Structures are given as structure tokens and as C-alpha cells.
Structure 1
């Protein structure tokens, strides 16, 4: 893999930057904080995306920007690859958006996970890294940040081993041991469960033997009772036949009793009906006499017919209603006309005032229209002032941000004792220069802000006056609209005044006419007509009552004749019913012995059925007991078989458990130990070789223990890493870094990043002689592309290309 180009958009201190990577050795040079490491982190982000804990989107996306992107171009295995990833700021976080990858001109869009899978495949990295947040192979072969390299050297033994297991790809052995422990725990729990299932198998066998003995006893009892049940069934059958014969005679007896009961009911009904008719005859005689007396007492002497009287009542009633309605109508019409005349007279008097008001309103309306003509000119002027105020406010905000940034820089540089990247002391002269520069920036910002604030206040005052004038214009428009409506209403009122005068004349004439008609109607004698009407209604009522009573009297006479005929028929029916009853009594006397014979036969049949029922219940109880015992035997046999099967599984589980604990785990531990020993031997040899190339002191030697911890010996005695000089510590870290690169590249044969290495501040604290040694180390590496991040000027002399990183106004840029 060889890097060719990277494009940064809103990434940390870079706004928009394109950087080319030539083959050979390349130095990224610049002051601390200039943006050198940002380029390397951006390249890593383009390849693998956001890495939890190491490379977050929040740290990558430029402050104040909502979107950013990194596009990386590189060659791998003869293919040209371009990959682009995007960042977008959300409400509470910064997230990766979808991107694309182009391989030899073929473009594919994809999510951040899909892009990572494609990159791992192209670089020959293990596929299981897709689900992991970190790419340890890349971090410890191609690019290891300075702080992360120090961490692996100075961390505790177990943490270092876990990191290296992941880097070398042999952490699978540890996972095997952990998974085996989980399996063993599960198997132990399973063994306890199986032991619980096997428990009580002897008791179940004893219960099975007992139930089989009980089943044999029940079978014998069934064999004894079934012949008795057959005999009882035959006896029931014989007695049922006898009962059927006796049932026929009993049925004839029941029929005779039923007929006698029916004849008794009919006789009672006829006697009751005769008595009821007699009472009704007496009531009708009395009612007919009373009705005749009421007809004789009515005074209905008249020569007119009923129809003539009804017609006269209708005519007089209609005449009275007509007179009353006409009186009411003319009276209401007179009142309405009187009110209308008064209204019209008042309206005519008010018209003179309306005419004067109309002249005043039209004059005021003309003056208001003149005021509203300046509205558009005032609006344009107000908009110009608002734009000016917004522009000045933006400039003031920018000046305030620059002032705060300068104060932050002064605060940070004054409190800084050592450089966070190279750990060198920060000189006072450097602090003074930066402080003086930022103070001058603050002074210029404050002066500019003061001038802008004066301009802002002037424009705000002007805008306030303009808005007041506009509000006055708006009020004039509203007043003009109201006056226009009022003037229009007054014009319509004056236009209708002539019509109202004509209406007044017509109303006065109608009032005179209505008064005359009302006087004529009042002369009619309504009371006399009403008295005649009441007399005729009284006569009509008496005639109607007489006719009704005569109809009732006729109906009662007809009912009396009908009742006489009914009584004759009832008397004849009672004689026939009594003759039939005498014949039924004679037949019942002849059939009296049949009931006694039937009852004896029924008693014998019931006794036989009861005996058979008792035998059937006994048989069913024994059979149910037999079925229950059989079911219990099946359950016991099933439980015993399950316990035997559980016993076999328990023995097998214990065998596997013993094999895992005493054989398998030991074999895995031996394999891991052998693999780690081979890696450690190769690592130790390379580590000593690289350290010797960097440090010529024969008295100072390094080695590795079994946990890959660097061991330092000085004059034959073990020494502490903390006791080494800054340059010696850097030499240990660089030698460890280079050894790790070589070992990983040799173990993981499929990776395609062997031609590239990136060294982050590899010469921190080196002497001039040691810097010369670095030149030899770079040549010994023999890689096609070596990228070095350093602010050592001497490094520039032994690299092929130098890229200078600068920063101005919080924006980084790259020069030649």
C-alpha cells in the first residue's frame, strides 16, 4: 500500500486542503499544534472510520462546521483506490454519513461499515476486524501515535499481553480458554440437573412392582363379577316383557279416567255459562228501563232537522270569527302606519345633519391621503437601516470571537511549562512573543468594535424614528379607510331621502283608510249573533244525545233475545253430558283389577334393574381402578426410562468435563506458550538489533522478558526505564515500534501494508549523532514509503521530500 493523495474538508484546523504523498521518505514538518498529526489521523479515518476511544467524529470535525469529509487516494496490489468518508454534526453528536469507494475507476456507495469491510479486504486484514472499533494491525504496523507507543511499553504486564495477543492475532487462544470455562460451568450445572433427575430411581422400581401386583388382583375380581352381571341382565329383560303386557291394560284405564275428567270439566263450563247469562239478563232489563226514562226527559221540540241546525251553527261561527279577525287586522295596520309615519318624519329631519357631516368627512379624507403617499419611501429607508445594523452586528460578533480566541491562546501559553508533543520546556521568549502578538490583536479588535458600536447606535436611533413615522402613516390609512366607509354610508342615506318623503305621503293616506274601515266593523252586533249560536249548539247536543240513547236501547233488546236462545241450548247440552258420564262410570268399574296387576309387575321390574345397576357400578369401579393402575404403570415405566437415559447422559457429561479440565485446557496453554515463545524470540532479537543501531553505548543493552516488557541492563546490572535519558527512552520506543512492525508483517502474511510505515516524533530527545543513526535506520527499513512527523530540522537532510505545515488564524495549510 502506497499513499498518493488526501483531501481534507473542515477537518480539525483544515478548511479545504489537498496533499500529495510522493514515494520514498517524506517529512511532515511544522510547529507544535500546526496540524501534522491531523493529516495522519484523517488518513486513518478515511480507511477505517471513527474509532471509539481514539478517533471520534467530534474531535475530527472542525469547530463551527456542520459537515466535513476526508478523501484518500492510494495504490494497493496494483489497484488505484479512492475512498471518501463524510461527517455530519447532529444535535448531540457528530455521526458518520454514507460515503463511496472507487477501485480502478469503478465507484460503489456504501455505509461506514460496508466501506470498512471493503478496505479490510483490499489490505488483506483479518475480516473479524469489521466488528471491532480499532484496527490493531494498522496501528502497530503502519501508524502508531507517540503516546500510544509509550502506553504499550509502560503499561502493566497483563494489559500489554492482551494488546499484543490482539496485534499478533493469537488472542483466539485466550478466547478458547474463556469459552471453555463457560462451557465447563454450563456442564457442571447440567450435571447437577441430571443428578436431580436420576435421584429416586430405586423407589420408582419398587412402586412399579407394587402397581403390577394390584393390576393382577383387579383382573381376578372382574372375572368373578361379570357372570353375575349377565344373569341380572336376563332377569331385567324378562320382567320388562311382563311389564309391557300389563302396561296395555293400564293404558285403557288411564284413557277412561281422562274422558271422565274431560266430561266433568265440560259440565262445569255449561253450568257456569248458564248462571252468567241469567245475571246478564237481569242487568239488561234494568238498563233498558233507565234508558227509556232518559229519552222521555229530553226537550227536543223543533221543526228543523239535525243537518239544518248543524249548517246554521257553522255559518254563525264563521261570521263571528271573520268580524273579529278584520277588527284585529285593521287595528294592527293602523298602529304600524302611525309608527312608520313618525319614523319617516324623524329620518327627514336628520338628513340635514348628514349632509353637513358628509362635507366635513370628505375634507378630512383628502388630507389623510396626502400623508400616506410617503409610506413606500419610508419602508425602503427602514430596510436599508436594518441591513446596515445586521452587517455591523455580524462584524462585532466576529471581533468578539477573535478577542476570546486570543485570550484563550494567552492563557494556555502562559500556563504551559512543557510542550505536550515533544515534552521540551517552553521558553519565556516564545511565550512573550505569542502574548505580545495576541495583545495587539485584542487592542485592534476593541478599537474596531468601538467604532462599529457608535455606527450601530446611530443607525438604531434613525431606524426608531423611521418606524415611528411609518406607524403614523399606518394610523392615517386606517382613519382614511374608516372615513371612506362612513362617507359612503352618508351618501346612500341622502340618496334615499326623496323616496322616504313619497313613502310618508302614501303611509298617511293608508292610515286614514284603515281608520274608516275599523269604525264600520265596530258597528256590527257580535254579541247577538253569539247568543243565537249558543242556543243552536244546545239544541244540537240534546238531539244527538236522544239519537244515541235510542241506538243503545235497540242493542240491549237484541241482546236479551240472544240470551234466551243460548239458555235453551245450554240446558240440552247439560243433559247429553250427564248421560255420557253414567256410561264411563260403568266401564271404570269393570277395569278396576288392571291397576293392581300393573303395580306389582312394575315393582318386580324396578327391583331387578336396581340389582343390575349395583353390579354395573361395581364392575365400572374395578375397571376404572384397573385403568388407573395401568396408567400409573406407564407413567412409572416412562419416568424410569427417562432416569436411565439421564444417568447415561450424566456419565457422558462427566467424561467430557474431565477431558476439558485435565487435558484440553493444558494443551491450549502449551500451544499458546509455544507460539508466544517463538514470537517473543523473534521480537527480542529484532528489538536488540534496532536498539543497537540507534545507541552505540556498549555498556547499555536491552532485552525482553516473557511478557514482552523491555529489560534494560547497564554495566551488567538491570536498570529502570525511568532512569534512562530522554534520547535513550525514545530509542527504546522506536526500536520496540520497528520490531513490532517486522514481527506483525512476518506473522500476518496476507497484509498488504508492508511497504508503508509512519513514524510519529521518532527522534524526540535524540542527540545529533543519534539523528544521523536514524538516516541509516530508514535506509535499512527498505520500504517504498516512509512518512515521518517531526519538528527536528536535521531530519530534513536525510529525507527525499519535506512538507511544511503552517497555521494562521486557526487554519492550517501545507507548503513545499
Structure 2
């Protein structure tokens, strides 16, 4: 996996930043607090969202802003991916407003995920590690370089197992164990069910179900025979009852028919009377219609005299109406045309006045803009003068700093080299002091031993007792040599003290050079600002002049528009007068048309009266004919009623009533007997059904017993399989961990040997539980926490790099590892150990790590970089910016430094 591009907007100290990453080693360099680590935190946050934060989303958005955007582009296994996250502040709450991931391998097939959780899950699957595994493997965050060594053995085991995908085997083993326990529970239930079913079968087989069933079926046959006999007798009685009821029903129907005929006779008599009265009313209406016709004909003659017509014929009226309608239509068109024309004049006048108002407003705005531009020009000029004063102050401050070099043995720019020479000289003097102290200690021990032997009367060389031996003179020489060495040692210590004082002075000069560089950079920035402010002042004054000229032009144009608007309003008034004249004439024509329409309506009413008179005559004649027909129906109905009264005998009706009563009495008695027999039949059938159900249950229980026995056999076999699977996952994890431990130990020793490069330690031992032991050259074991702070930091970096190598080389398919990220790895390292860290970086490049990102303010790491990202923070705005320097520029910088 390779990061290619990071774009930020309002993320922590950054405003708008666009950073491109390349293969190789990229060092992110800058002063403490400039925002270096925030760049890598942005990459981490883009991949894993809130899971990558130690705080909350509120900490991500830059102070004073409500929105933030993070976009990360990277390549994995030949596919280009892009992640985009947008954050939004609403009140006191910050939430993710957009989170998308898109991938394209160039073949037309794309990958897309939407939503923070979906993106995080996809990245975790893609890299085969979640956010916690990411920081345990590839991302050594600031202050966490000793995380693995400070962890408990169990924590370190869990971390490394998860990274090496061994944690899943433990998960699978747990699942197999849970499955085994589940099968065990199910097996116990199945065995219990089998025992219960067998007990139920024994109970039912002891009930003699078949013998009881035969006895009940015999009793049921006898009861059914009795029921059939009584049902036949009941049917015969019901037939007799039905005949009697039929006779009585026929009698009732005849009587009802007679009643209906009498009602119809009465109704016909009423209708004949009402129809005669209705005919008299229609005669009255006919006479009234004739009177209305004569009245309308008189009104028609009066209205015709007020027109230009000679007669009230339909053709004459239609012809006159057509002539007047044509004239009316022509007047309407003329009026409409002039209304449109008048409205157009009025709209033109309004538009011209509106435009004039807008022009005057624009003129006022232009004059206001001119005033603002003039004010801005004055402010820019004042800012330029203030910057010039500040630049002069910085020049004075530079002069004061340069004064430190007036009495110095070096010139500006030589301080760092001078300090290194002094440090080397101090190192040489230190070595001479150590050598002299060792020689002095040896001579003093020798003299003390000789004095002790002489005090006992023995020779200091051979230990034999001698008197006046020549060896006595050697002690005096040694004492003289001790005096010389003590004088030399004192002189060397004085020299070392003087050199240390010179180093302190050189350090102050190095800091002075850094201050001069910063002051010069600030003066250059002020020079750019002065030029920009003066250019701004000139532009603003030119803008003010142009705005004032524009305001004058707009006021003149507004006056012309108002004069044109007045002319248009006069034309609109003239047109409105023409409309009024034509409207009056149109009203006269409308009145004439209405008179003609009234005459036509009178003609229509007269025709309606004639038609009504004719219809009323026809209705009176129709009513007379209908009453004649009803009188014929009335005579027929009276004849039918008399015939029905004579058709029925009362003795037949009485006999039918007696037969009905006898049949109902017998049916009541036989029904009670049948109910009793049927109840007994139902009891027998229910008992038979219960025994048959019991027999069916017995057969079902036997089938269940066979199925449960087979189920128990299957579960016992499955129980054995889950036990074997659980043991297999445990053995597989143990074997894979052993192999990984061997490989990890080898890689760790390779890296450890490179970064230590001394004779103090021989190798590292890593056991199956990831317990770490460091061995000295004399095979004495040490715990890692017994190392010095710098050695411990290098030890942890070695372990991290070894794990990273194992992940990259030991997993099939595309290596899931992201770039190797080291955030401030030199915190616990002195200058000598920083050099070994550079060697470690070069070693990882040699192992094929394509991208390494290092955050550091240490200048020594810059030499190992292919790309350099310099982060600076503006002290006024607290906004960080990033400057990129590629490998070619770094090479040039290196040559300049060498010169």
C-alpha cells in the first residue's frame, strides 16, 4: 500500500493543504509544535475515522471553523483508491456529513462504499488490520516507541497474534468449543427425549387398545339400527304433517287473494275519482295559457315599434343582430388594441423610471465603493510604512546578533563546523584523560603493593626477603612517574574545561546563526508584504477613480431615462381617451342588440304558449281514455272476488287442522327418543375416535423413537468431530506461532545487530509467548527494560520493523502493510543513536519497504530522505503550511552544504 496524495481543509492547524507522497523515504521536518504529526494523523483518520482519534471529532476541526475536509488517495495491489471525509459543526456537536471510498483498477470495474462504518470496515478488510493493529504494526506514534516493550506478556502476545492473523485461529477454536458445548446440550436433550418417548410407548401398549375398539364398534352398530327405525317413522309423520299444512296454506292463500282483490277494487275507485279531478285542473290551465298568449303578442308589437324593423320575423331579427354584432366586434378589437398599446406605454414608462432608479442607486454604490477603495488604499499605504519600520527594526536586531561574532574566532556561517571541531577535540582530550587516569591508577596500585612488601622485608619483584636490593630504586622511579602523570592529568582537565567553555560559546553562536536566518526570512517576508501593500494602494486608487467616473455616467443616463418615461406617459393618456370614446359607442350597440334579443325571446314565449295549449288538450283527452279503461278493470276485479268466495269448503279445512295436530304430537315424542339414541351414538363414536387417536399416537411415537435414535447417533458423531476440530485449531495456532516466532526472531536479530553495532550484546531470544530476552557477549541474560533509554527505544524500533517485515513477507497475495510511519522516533535517542536509526531506515529500504514516512525535527534524518516536507506555522494566524523538496533539490542542498 502506497500513500499518493493528501488534501486537507481546516484540519487541526491546516487551512488548505495539498500534499503529494512518493515512493521511498519522506521526512516531515519542522520545529516542535508546527503541525508535523497532524499530517500523519490526517492519513490515519482518513483510513479509520473516529477510531483513529484519541479525542473527539471536535478536536479535528480547526479553531474558528465549522467545516473540515480530508481526502486521501492511495494505491493497493494495483488499484487506486480515494477516501473523502467531510465534518460539520452544528452548535456544540460535530458530525460526519460525508464519507465515501472509491476504487478503480482501470478495467472498468469500480469499488464504492458510502458511510463512515462501511468505509472503515472496507479498509480493515483491505489491510487485514483494524485501527489498533495499524498503530501496533506500521504507525509508531509520538511517545509510543516503547509501547511493545512496556506491554505485559499477554498484551504483547495478543498484539502480535492479531497482526499475524493468529487471533482468528483462537476465535475459530473458541467457536469450535462453543459448537461442541452446543452439540453436547442438544445430545443430552435428544437422549432425554428418546427415554421419554420409550416410556410413553410402554404406557400405551399396556392399555389393550384393539380389544376395547372392537367392543365399542359392536355397540355402535346396534344404536345406529334403532336410529334408522325411528327416523323412518318420523319421516312418515312429517309427510302427513306436510299434506295437512299444504291444505291449510292453500286456504290461507285464497283468503289473502280475496283481500288483495278488495284492496285493488278500492284503489281503482280512488284513481278514477282523482283522474276526473285532474282533468278539470288541466282545463283551467288551458284557459290561462290562452290569456298569456294574447298578453305576449301585445308586448311584442310595442317592442317592435322601438326598433328599425318592419316585422318581427326570425330572418329580419337575425340579419339586424349580425350587423350590430360585426360592428360591436370591430369596436372590441379596436378597444383591445388600444388598451394593449396604452398598457405598453405605461409599462415602458415604469421600466424607464425603474431603470433610472437603479442607475441612481448604482451611482451611489459606485461612489461608496470609490470611498471604500480610497480608504483601503490609505490603509494599505499605512501598512506598508509600518512594515518598513518593522523591517528596519529587524535590521537593527540583526546587527546586534552579528556583533556576537565580532570577537569570535569564526565568521557567520561557520559556527556549526566550529562546534563539531571543538566536540571532536573534547572527545580526544577525554580519551587522553581516561588513558592517563588508567595508567596513574595502575602505577599507584603498584607503588602501594611495593611499599607493603618492603614494610614486611620482602622484594617487591620476587617476594623473597632481601636487603638493599636494586628493586628499591624502581619504586622511586614509579613515584616520579606518578607525579608527572598527575601534572599531565591536571593540565588535560584544564584543557577539557577550556574546550567545554568554547563549546558553550560555539553553541551560542549556532543559536545566533539560527536567529539571523529567522530574522532574514522575516525581513524577506516583510519586503514582499511592503511591495504587495503598495501595489494594493495603487490598485485601490485607480479603482476609486474608475468608480467615480462610472457614477457620473450613470446619473446622466438616469436623467435621460426619466425624460423618456414622461413622453411615454403622455402617449398613454391620449390612447386612454380613444378607448373611452369607442367604449361609449360599443355600449349603444350592446343596448340595441339586447332589444332585439328581447323581441326574439317574446316570439319564443308566444310559441311556447301555443305549444302548451296543445299539450294540455292532449293530456285531458288521455286522462278521459285512462278512466274509461280503469272502469273496465274494476268490473273484472269484482267478478274474480265473488268466484273465490264460492270456491272453498269449511269441512275440508277442519279435517286438515286435526291431522296436523296428531302428526305434531308423534313427531315430538319420536324426536326425544332419537336425541337420546344419537347422543349415545356420538359418545360411542368419540370413544372409538379416542382409541384410534391413541393407536395413531402409538405409531407416531414408534416413528419418533426411530428418528430420535438416529438423531442421537448423528449427534454423538458430530460431538466427536467438534472435539477434533477444537483440538486442530489449537494445534494449528501453536504450530503457526512457533514458525512465526522463529522467523520473527531471525529478522529481529538481523535488525538488532545492525542498529546496535557494538560488542555489548550478542543476540535476542524470543520464546513461544513472545517473551523477549537480550543476551550480553558473556551470555548473561537481560530484560529489555534493563537497557538504557536510547537502547530501549532502538530495541523497540527493531521489533516493530521485524514485525512489519514478517507481515509483508509472510502473508500470501498482496502485502497488506501500509507505509512504515515513524512519528518523532528520536525523542529518546542521543546523537549517536540517531545515526543508527538512519541505518535502520536504510536497512528497511533494502528489505523492499516501498514507502517510509518519518516525522522529526532532527536535521540528521534529512540526509536519509528522498523527499522532504517542511512544515512551518505562522505565529500570527497559527496556520501551518507545507513545503515540498524532492530528491533532486535535496541533492543540490547537500552539495551546497558540502561546499
SS in 2 for 1:93: strand
Q: Aligned partners of 1:7 and 1:598: how far apart in 2?
A: 108
Q: Check if 1:757 corresponds to 2:757.
A: no
What is the match of residue 667 of structure 1? Answer: 728
Residue 694 of structure 1, CA deviation: 1.3
Question: 8 Å contact 2:749–2:763 — kept in the other structure?
Answer: yes
Residue 96 of structure 1, CA deviation: 5.3
What is the match of residue 157 of structure 1? Answer: 153
SS in 2 for 1:68: strand
What is the match of residue 60 of structure 1? Answer: 60
Structure 1 pair 635–149 and aligned structure 2 pair: CA distance change class (3 A): farther
Structure 1 pair 109–95 and aligned structure 2 pair: CA distance change class (3 A): farther
Scaled by the length of structure 2, the TM-score of the pair is 0.47
Q: Aligned partners of 1:791 and 1:116: how far apart in 2?
A: 37
Structure 1 pair 740–237 and aligned structure 2 pair: CA distance change class (3 A): closer
Q: Aligned partners of 1:609 and 1:24: how far apart in 2?
A: 109
What is the match of residue 627 of structure 1? Answer: 689
SS in 2 for 1:789: strand
Q: Aligned partners of 1:795 and 1:752: how far apart in 2?
A: 27
Instruction: Tell me the alpha carbon deviations over residues 747-784 of structure 1, each in whole angstroms, 9 at most, x when there is no partner.
Output: 23433577943323334443444333334333332244
Q: Check if 1:638 corresponds to 2:700.
A: yes
Q: Aligned partners of 1:755 and 1:182: how far apart in 2?
A: 35
Equivalent residues in 2 for 1:383-782, closer than 5 Å: 614-642=676-704, 644-660=706-722, 662-695=723-756, 696-699=758-761, 701-714=763-776, 715-751=778-814, 756-781=819-844, 782=846
Provide structure 1 residue ranges, at least 5 long, that are not aligned to the other structure. 260-380, 389-428, 434-583
What is the match of residue 364 of structure 2? Answer: none
Instruction: Tell me the alpha carbon deviations over residues 373-432 of structure 1, each in whole angstroms, 9 at most, x when there is no partner.
Output: xxxxxxxx9xx9xxx9xxxxxxxxxxxxxxxxxxxxxxxxxxxxxxxxxxxxxxxx99xx
Q: Aligned partners of 1:650 and 1:753: how far apart in 2?
A: 46
SS in 2 for 1:788: strand
Q: Check if 1:791 corresponds to 2:857.
A: yes
Question: 8 Å contact 1:45–1:55 — kept in the other structure?
Answer: no
What is the match of residue 807 of structure 1? Answer: 873
SS in 2 for 1:711: strand
Structure 1 pair 78–628 and aligned structure 2 pair: CA distance change class (3 A): closer
Question: 8 Å contact 2:139–2:822 — kept in the other structure?
Answer: yes
SS in 2 for 1:14: coil
Decide which of 127, 130, 134 is 2:131's aligned counterpart: 134
Structure 1 pair 149–237 and aligned structure 2 pair: CA distance change class (3 A): same
Question: 8 Å contact 1:221–1:622 — kept in the other structure?
Answer: yes
Scaled by the length of structure 1, the TM-score of the pair is 0.51
Q: Aligned partners of 2:229 and 2:88: how far apart in 1?
A: 100
Residue 689 of structure 1, CA deviation: 1.5
Q: Aligned partners of 1:610 and 1:184: how far apart in 2?
A: 68
Residue 165 of structure 1, CA deviation: 2.8
What is the match of residue 207 of structure 1? Answer: 204
Decide which of 168, 173, 176 is 1:177's aligned counterpart: 173
Provide structure 2 residue ranges, at least 5 long, that are not aligned to the other structure. 256-367, 376-506, 513-648, 886-899
Count of residue pairs brought into register by the alignment: 506
Structure 1 pair 172–687 and aligned structure 2 pair: CA distance change class (3 A): same
What is the match of residue 31 of structure 1? Answer: 31
Q: Aligned partners of 2:7 and 2:661: how far apart in 1?
A: 119
Q: Aligned partners of 2:17 and 2:69: how far apart in 1?
A: 11
Q: Aligned partners of 1:172 and 1:13: how far apart in 2?
A: 40
Instruction: Tell me the alpha carbon deviations over residues 704-759 of structure 1, each in whole angstroms, 9 at most, x when there is no partner.
Output: 12122322234433323222101110111111011011100012343357794332
Q: Aligned partners of 2:81 and 2:225: how far apart in 1?
A: 100
SS in 2 for 1:213: helix
Instruction: Tell me the alpha carbon deviations over residues 270-322 of structure 1, each in whole angstroms, 9 at most, x when there is no partner.
Output: xxxxxxxxxxxxxxxxxxxxxxxxxxxxxxxxxxxxxxxxxxxxxxxxxxxxx
Question: 8 Å contact 2:28–2:869 — kept in the other structure?
Answer: yes
SS in 2 for 1:618: helix
Q: Aligned partners of 1:79 and 1:787: how far apart in 2?
A: 21
Residue 690 of structure 1, CA deviation: 0.8
Decide which of 218, 221, 224 is 1:223's aligned counterpart: 221
Question: 8 Å contact 2:173–2:727 — kept in the other structure?
Answer: no
Q: Check if 1:40 corresponds to 2:14.
A: no
Q: Aligned partners of 1:242 and 1:61: how far apart in 2?
A: 104
Structure 1 pair 119–21 and aligned structure 2 pair: CA distance change class (3 A): farther
SS in 1 for 2:759: coil
Q: Aligned partners of 2:856 and 2:58: how far apart in 1?
A: 26
Residue 13 of structure 1, CA deviation: 1.6
Structure 1 pair 713–630 and aligned structure 2 pair: CA distance change class (3 A): same
Structure 1 pair 229–140 and aligned structure 2 pair: CA distance change class (3 A): closer
Question: 8 Å contact 1:88–1:97 — kept in the other structure?
Answer: no
What is the match of residue 93 of structure 1? Answer: 94
